[in-house]
Structures are given as structure tokens and as C-alpha cells.
Amino acid sequence: MYSHGSESLIKQAREIQESELQKFYSRLVKLLQAKELSHETVDSLQRLHIILFATKFTRTAELSSLCTQFLRSLESRQSEGPAHSFTHILPIINTMLTHSPECLTEDHVTLLSKKLVDWLRYASITQGGGASSGGFFTGPRLRQPMPVAELDGTVSGDFFTVLCVGQGFTEDQWMNVYSFSMLRHWLLTYHSVSTGSTTADTDDRSEVDGSVVSMVSATSSSSRLLPPKERLREKAFQYCQRLIEQSDRKTHRRIDAELQKACLVEAVGILDCVCVEDASLVYRTFPCIKALFGRLSSDLSFARVLLPIAQFYLNHGEMAAVDCESVWKVVFGRFPAELFNDAFLAHELLRFLRLNLESLQLRLPQYTRSFPNLLKFLAWNSPAVVDDFVDLLPSLVTTGTAVELLHTLLDLPCLSATLVLQHRSTCLPISDTGGRSLVSLDAFRNPSFRGLFLFLLRGEAGDTIDRLSTLHEQLAEAASWPRVVQCAQTVPRLKCSLQIHYNYNCLKAGCFTHLILVMLERSSLLLSLRTFIREVHRVFSCHLLRLCKLQPSLVMDQSHELVEFAGTTANVYNKEEMYTHVVWVLGEYLSVSCDSRCSVRLITSCFEALEAVLFEITSSTPPPGSPCPAPRVITTLMSALAKLASRSHDLIPRVSLFLSKLRSVTRCGSVTWCSDEEDLVAIVTRGEELWSLLKTPGVAQSVLTPSAHVTTPQWHKDTNVSMPLQMRALTSLTHSQ
């Protein structure tokens, strides 16, 4: 939240009128023409910065002259008189580059690149104001300039960087810091600058005027002859190399250690940028990056640094023919396994995966195999990362991982509970509100169940488990834990994402078969969370319809399992959604027209199973504690029986007899299996419609089992009808002169 004063300033910046803005620009241009920046100029620059951020740089046409004035001010040199305070101008130029790079020309790019070289490489190496030799009678003539120091306290023996310290900084040292902070952004975006008139002046002598030449890394004459962009890349390379060397120094304060990590992240990112622009630098950079990874890879406190290193390996490892296996073992192995509770790392790693999705899929088989590990971030902090995984999950689906990935998603609440047990058992005692030890914690520590928990904590795909019911019993109390409940709420959304994004064309029919088997099996093997189970059943149902519609022969392939599921009466009451859809696909696709393997014997077997269930639920009261069967289940069963009978006419009398009995029973009054009168009327009406159809078997078959040319008409291609001729005539008329 902003303070009241800040909100007022932002509101004023957003509501500034065009005329007032023009006056403000004109006044600022005049102020910038002065040799020194007054307080009014500084205040105006700060106000401009607020305007740019508040309006997202939507009004850029008026700023072309102001941009030119900024860059002219950069051309002034310290030797020509009082220096301008570039510290206020450079952030504004960086903002303009972000929102409207078209404001800059090639001349501007050349100029700013030269200035960045000056500030990065030739800042003074003596401390700024405040450095004194000490003593009560110390006067101005006795003050000696003190050299800047390294973070470990030793005197700096090379050029100034952001990791140099002192009692005060000079202006060019501050510009060194600011230049480094915007360097990567500049390298990434100056390519989009419009090409304008360019200056042929390549004399860079101004860049070393008045500067202190480094004692160790003196600039070579060949470097001075490079064009400005190439020279900036070279200086950026040297600067980052020095930062990596400085980061190995032992610090005395924690804040300095964090500064080292932040600078390493930026330095590796900049080296990646310059190597993308100039491939010849890859071979010069890799030894340094490889050594840095070797130094940091064993210490996971440097995880935020190791991710940019992984990006460098991904971008350039193939070109340099470097073995990257150890890098991916850390990224896909240790990071999720040991740092799953680090929210910042989770965000950074998932962002890395999303930005490099195509490369990871094509070049790294470790990526798709590591989904059990990656899902630990989701299991631990579901609300914060669920959007990332909605985007990532489809990329993890292959023929080899689809089935196990589905199992893993269904076990995600169990994984969440296991991570809680693992994390808390090592640092805090776990007990319920009454102070008693938890059964799940005892099971987690029990060697008899250790294999179950290790399966959930596995790092790569490939393992299986057959004791899920035992695992669910041990984790039953975890169903009320907030983290587990949150995790369970995300699973249906992820399954919907898979349903939408599954690339079915890439999966083999055998994989489809396994998916159906998993859905039938796992509908009974879920952690006991009522809402979770209901939502999973709903998603399963939609998924089943999609698979069978795509490949109807799957119903024939899995007819035994589907009929067994549909013939279990208990499923009517505890798996209503799933059961209804299984019955529907049996009635719809168990047909010779969908698969020539379908036989009368199989149709009869399915018919008898459904008939038994329908008779049982309409002739007895529901089990204790169970509601009446849903009307949709009953009507779906009746429709499926009628469809099957229309394909085997010997079954029609049996359906007709049931439907006639149903009509006569309901006339006697209320029934125990339907408590709502309107629902009962709807059921009876549906039964009468089916009964009427079955009186004429030929009509029943046409209506209940229509042929393909009826369900998917292509009359515009049928030569036996007049529509193709009419369409050709109309086409000829519309194209004639």
C-alpha cells in the first residue's frame, strides 16, 4: 500500500493535462541546458520519473526533444566544468528504453554505450568524501585519498565495481553502480532501437580522459578500436569476470554476503547476454562459469545464483560441448527435494521452466522425468504456484509419463501431507490440539510404512505402488490440515488443464487404455476429502467422454472393466457422476458400428449387468445413510438398456417388460427409491418414450443407434443428392464475370 502522499502524487501524474505536460517539458528542457543541476531541476526530473511510471509511457511523441536533451547532457565531460548529476538522468533514460525504445536513435545508442564503458571500467579507485587520515589537527592539505577496499577488508588492486567499499563514493563511482544495474536491460533491448543517422566518429579517447587505468586489467589497444557496442560487450565481460572473482572473498557481514549473491545473479545474466550476442565469447566465458558452478553447487544457499548458471548452460552448453548433467541434477533434483518450502526459489525455478519450455522439452529428457520432484513445489504452496503448473503440466505429458503423472496428481494431497511431516518432524513436534502424538507421524517414522512415504518423495518417474489404501489410512487425519486441503482444491483444476491441453495425437492407443483403467481404479482410491473426491469424479467423467469420443474402440478394449464398474450397485450411490458416464459410454459405443469386434454375447452380458442394477435400485430402499439414486442415473440406465436392445432384438421384450412394470408401479403411489414427485414423473415419461420406440424395432434402431451418415452428415459431398450440384452452380455464378 502507498502512503497518502504517494497516492496523491501518482494520481496527479496520471491526471496531468496535455497543456500542462507541454509546459512542464519546455521548462525542463531549459533547466537541462544549464551547466549545473539546480534543486528545481532535480525536483523536475523526479517528477518526470513519476509521470513515466504512472502513465506507463503512453504519451511518448512529446518526449523526443526531451530525450535528445538528456543524451546531450551525457556528452558533457568532467574536464569541461561542473559535472551534471547523471544519477537523476540515467534512471529516466532506462525507463524510456523500457516503455518506448523507438525514442532513441542509433546515435543515441552509440553515445550511451560509450558512456557506459566509461562509467563501468574507468571509475576512480579512491574513496569519496569522508576519507581522512585522522588526527585532531588534520587539515585539507593533510587529507590523503584512501583507496577503495574489497569486502574482506583488503585494499582493492583492480578497477572499481559494485563490490568495492569505502567511507564514501565519488560521483563516477555512483555512476558505475547505476550503470551496472541497467547494463543487462540495455544489452537486451538496444537492438530494438530505430536505425537513424549514425555518426562515423569512432574515436574513444574521451573514455579514458581523466580516468584511472587499472593496475591489473589494463585495456588493450585492440579493444579501443572496437565499435562502441562491441567495446561495451568486452568491458561488460571484464566487469563480470571481476565480480565473480570478488564474490569468492570472505565477508564480515551477512548483508555483504547477500550483496555478493545478488551481484553474481546479475553478472551471470549479463555474461549470458553478451555470449548470445557474440558467440566467440562463449569459449572465454565457460571456464569461469564452470568453476563458479563447481564452487557453489554443493551449497544450496546459493540456489538463486545457480539458476542463472543453469540458464547459461542451457543456452551455450551444446555449443561448447560441455557436460551439463551435474547442473540438471541440482536443478531438477536437489532444488525441489530440499528447498520445496522456499517460496522465492519456487517462483524463480518455475519462471525458468516457463521461459525455456521448448528447449527443455527438446533437449532435456530429465525434465519430463522429474515431474514427481517438481510437483513438490505445488504440494507445499499450491495457491501461489498453481497458475505456473497449469501452463507447465501439458509439457510433462508423454506416452511414457501420462499414466504416472495422472497417478501423481491424484496423490498430490498425500504428498502435501508427507512434506508437512518431513518438514515438521525435523524442526517442530507435531501433535493435535489435545497434545497427543499424531498417527501419521508415527507411521512416517515406522520402518514398515517407510517405503510408502519414500515413494511419494521420489525424485524421478518410473516407480509404482500397490498399497494406496494403506497409505490413505495412515494419512486420514491429514485430510483436515489446511495445507492439504488447499492442495486438494487445486487438483481438479490441474486435471481440467490436462484434459484441455492433452495432445492426444501424440499418445498411443495403449496409453488411452491405461488412462481409462487408472480412472476406474483410482475413483475408489483417493484421500478421504469429500469435496476433493466429488470434483475428481466430475473431471474423470468429462475425461472419459473425451477419450471415448476420440476413440470409440476403447469401450470394446475395456469392456470387461467398464461392465464390471457399471454392474456394481454401490457405485450408484458413492460415484454418481462417474457411474452415469460409464453407463452412457457403454450404451453409446458398445456397438458393431463402432467396433467390428462387438458381439451379441458381449451386448447381452452388458445388458444383464445394467438390468440387474436398475432392478435392484428400483425395487428396494437405498442403503442406510445414502440418498435416493439420482433420477439421471435411472434414466441413463433405461436409455442404455434400450440402446443395447435395439442392437440385439431378442432383448427388447425384457426391456419392454421392465418399462411396463415401472409404469404400473408408479401408478400405485409413491416409491421408496424416488422422493421427489417431479423426478418420478420425468423418469416415467422417459420410460414411456423408450417403450413406444421399442414397439417398432427398426425405428428404435434408427433413433437409438443412428448410422454414421446421420450423426455426421456430409451432404455437400454426396453425389446421390442434389446439394453438390447446387453448390457448384452457385460457386460458378459467384466467380463468373
Residue 56 grid coordinates: 506507463
- Whether residue 31 is predicted with pLDDT greater than 70 in this model: the reply is yes
Is the separation of the CB atoms in 527 and 475 below 8 Å? yes
pLDDT in tens, 427-461: 655 555 454 567 888 899 889 999 999 999 999 99
Residue 559 lies in a domain: no
Whole-number Å distance between alpha carbons of 258 and 427: 25
Cα dihedral 394, 397, 398, 403, rounded to 10, equals -150
Closest CA to 172 of 164, 142, 151: 164
Give the pLDDT confidence score for residue 57 in this predicted structure: 53
Domain count, the chain: 1
Domain extent at residue 468: 364-429+438-527
DSSP category for residue 527: -
Answer whether residue 575 shows pLDDT above 90.
yes
**Shortest CA distance to 44 belongs to which of 2, 97, 85?**
85
pLDDT at 134 over 80: no
pLDDT bin (cut points 50, 70, 90) of residue 58 is low
Sign of CA dihedral 545, 546, 551, 554: negative
Q: Assign 205 a pLDDT band (cuts: 50, 70, 90).
A: very low
- C-alpha distances in Å from residue 711, one per residue of 644, 705, 707: 18, 10, 7
Any domain includes 462: yes
Cβ within 8 Å of residue 138, ≥6 positions away: 132
Domain-located, residue 353? no
In a domain, 342, yes or no: no
Is 457:422 a contact under the CB 8 Å cutoff? yes
For residue 430, how many other CB atoms are within 10 A of its CB? 15
Is 425 within the bounds of a domain?
Answer: yes
pLDDT for 226: 79
Residue 40 domain-assigned? Answer: no
Dist CA 492 CA 534 (whole Å): 10
* Residue that has been written with the C-alpha cell 450397485 in this structure: 569
Q: Kindly indicate the confidence band of residue 44, based on its pLDDT and cuts at 50, 70 and 90.
A: confident
In this structure, of 76-85, 121-130, 156-165, the range with the lowest mean pLDDT score is 76-85
pLDDT greater than 50 at residue 208: no
Query: At residue 665, what are phi and psi to the nearest 5 degrees?
Result: -65, -45
Q: Judge contact between 602 and 592, C-beta under 8 A.
A: no
Distances (CA, A) of 110 to 105, 192, 219, 561: 9, 14, 19, 72
The answer to whether residue 616 sits within a structural domain is: no
Please report how the helices 343-355 and 303-320 are oriented relative to each other, as an axis angle in degrees rounded to 10.
20
pLDDT at 294: 95
Q: Average pLDDT in the 650-659 region?
A: 92
Alpha helices in 324-478 (DSSP H): 325-329, 335-338, 343-355, 357-363, 365-369, 371-380, 382-392, 402-410, 412-425, 439-445, 447-456, 468-474
pTM: 0.82
Q: Which amino acid is at 15?
A: E
pLDDT of residue 589: 93
- Residue 225, domain member (yes or no): no
When pLDDT is cut at 50, 70 and 90, the band that residue 92 belongs to is confident
